[in-house]
Structure 1
């Protein structure tokens, strides 16, 4: 990047196919979503990257870990993708942190994406919306949780077991906890331990600053880039606010929208096949929630 940070691009799939660019949520890594994105490899040219200070990227200065810099990274990455792999249209398929960043990027740098498909983005609700105080409370809780995370593990297996003990993660596909644990940790050769690739203080900072009112208003203007939203199931008990936020902003902005039945914020890990189908529908401009809800899980 222009400030010296290094972000690794990885290319998989069919180089002659339509291009999809994918990234992940806060504190996570795109390799942990492999059960989702590997479904596209026969037909699509799939470009993956981790947000700075995440996943496979080397650490960079903490002061540059903020939303404004993420937006600039997206712009520089968009140029780098064309420069490295050839110029052609690209659609972005982004989850959570990267999905919110994609809206900010599309608002500041119009015309860079053929389309955007956003998975359960925790968009900050507009002033006066009843979900705003709910989201404020949830983000405060996520800040506290992030700051309490262990920083070192003897092995990725221990983090995977930690994931499995969390009630909200019980819907994950077999092997997903192990995949995500390995993707979000790196091995420290000096100490022999495994450390969080994204330091907990930086993860907490993003939750704490996820309060940009312009994301909602940009979608309602609307953007010049076609946007579809695929959300978690708002009817799931003890669901996170992002599921209701996605439904609400899609209705207000009149965006194509569906929710994946029975899923939480980690929908691509819980129901990768349904998320794949929904993505194909969004790419074709035919995203319909009722059709997905009627399917047997």
Structure 2
């Protein structure tokens, strides 16, 4: 059973105008400028607020910025599903944010966010002090190549995740009704209530009739899942900072021999299989993820 969790520090909500990319909403845990900066990227369909229980207790060691990625959470940056072709859109957003911050940072992300921070670390190795990827979406090169070719020639294969996202119910009578609908079901089966509440609070908006609506539109979530297959493996060799990867025992995104392939290509990377976990590892083993981030900062304190 998931254990109750809570955030030990309250973040502030900020709107960041990222030059050339748009305006993004973020949660910030500020503090002593001597603390290292941690930038966190969420999973597809989620939002920065989802991870308050994970990130809040880390504010004693880090200054933290958790971004609502394009089309997610409260970010008003343009998000047209027909325009989304690859996840380079999200990594380009993050690189532009890092350029704006102009400070080497520890980078971490879950699922899509894991790949996004990896791509950003590859693009700007001077701004990446260390990298923790949690259940990153890193497909086998052969799978990525097939998906890329299929899309190039207009024959994309069926994508169950995208199809499911497109059918998601977007409007509920209240946030409590949404909570009741999600609790213990589907993707949320292993989530503590604190995570589920934060996901809902950070990812909904009020409608004039008193109902609430998911701020990540089902069409955008579907387009995000559907654009996951670009070929990205060359980027692994461009990452210069220390890397730690946490991946789940079941339902993991690292399948088909991918962990072994990564170890062969990047022997210095630390890949850790976490027993008894699923893709929603941050919700299931919060303290383990926090310890991994603290350890990364202790071992590699210098930029």
Secondary structure of the structure 2 residue equivalent to 1:36 = helix
* 1:81 corresponds to 2:92: no
Secondary structure of the structure 2 residue equivalent to 1:175 = helix
Structure-to-structure mapping, 1:64-213, within 5 angstroms? 64-65=83-84, 66-82=86-102, 88-127=103-142, 140-188=159-207, 190-213=208-231
Secondary structure of the structure 2 residue equivalent to 1:8 = strand
Equivalent-residue separation in structure 1 for 2:108 and 2:51 (angstroms): 12
The CA deviation at 1:10 is 3.3
Provide TM-score, normalisation by structure 1.
0.80
Q: What residue number does 2:240 align with? A: 224
Q: What residue number does 1:14 align with? A: 31
Equivalent-residue separation in structure 2 for 1:4 and 1:211 (angstroms): 22
**Does the C-alpha gap of structure 1 residues 269 and 165 become closer, same or farther in structure 2, counting only changes over 3 Å?**
closer
Equivalent-residue separation in structure 2 for 1:25 and 1:139 (angstroms): 21
Structure-to-structure mapping, 1:248-263, within 5 angstroms? 248-252=260-264, 253-254=266-267, 255-263=269-277
Tell me, yes or no, if the aligned pair for 2:135 and 2:253 is still in contact at 8 Å: no
Equivalent-residue separation in structure 1 for 2:174 and 2:25 (angstroms): 24
Equivalent-residue separation in structure 1 for 2:105 and 2:253 (angstroms): 30
**Does the C-alpha gap of structure 1 residues 81 and 128 become closer, same or farther in structure 2, counting only changes over 3 Å?**
closer
Provide TM-score, normalisation by structure 2.
0.79
Equivalent-residue separation in structure 2 for 1:166 and 1:248 (angstroms): 32
Equivalent-residue separation in structure 1 for 2:260 and 2:179 (angstroms): 33
Equivalent-residue separation in structure 1 for 2:109 and 2:21 (angstroms): 24
Greater mean alpha carbon deviation, residues 159-168 or residues 72-81 = 159-168
Equivalent-residue separation in structure 1 for 2:288 and 2:83 (angstroms): 36
Tell me the number of residue pairs that the alignment of Structure 1 and Structure 2 aligns. 270
* 1:247 corresponds to 2:265: no
Q: Which runs of 5+ in 2 are unaligned?
A: 1-17, 148-155
Q: What residue number does 2:150 align with? A: none
Cα deviation code 1:230-257 (max 9, x no counterpart): 1122xx3xx2443666634442332111
Equivalent-residue separation in structure 2 for 1:8 and 1:37 (angstroms): 16
CA RMSD of aligned residues (A): 2.9
**Does the C-alpha gap of structure 1 residues 248 and 148 become closer, same or farther in structure 2, counting only changes over 3 Å?**
farther
* 1:272 corresponds to 2:291: no
Q: What residue number does 2:14 align with? A: none
Cα deviation code 1:253-279 (max 9, x no counterpart): 321111333221111112211111122
Secondary structure of the structure 2 residue equivalent to 1:46 = strand
* 1:28 corresponds to 2:46: yes
The CA deviation at 1:91 is 0.6
Q: What residue number does 1:290 align with? A: none
Secondary structure of the structure 2 residue equivalent to 1:127 = helix
Equivalent-residue separation in structure 1 for 2:197 and 2:260 (angstroms): 34
Equivalent-residue separation in structure 1 for 2:38 and 2:157 (angstroms): 31
Q: What residue number does 1:5 align with? A: 22
Equivalent-residue separation in structure 2 for 1:249 and 1:193 (angstroms): 47
Secondary structure of the structure 1 residue equivalent to 2:245 = strand
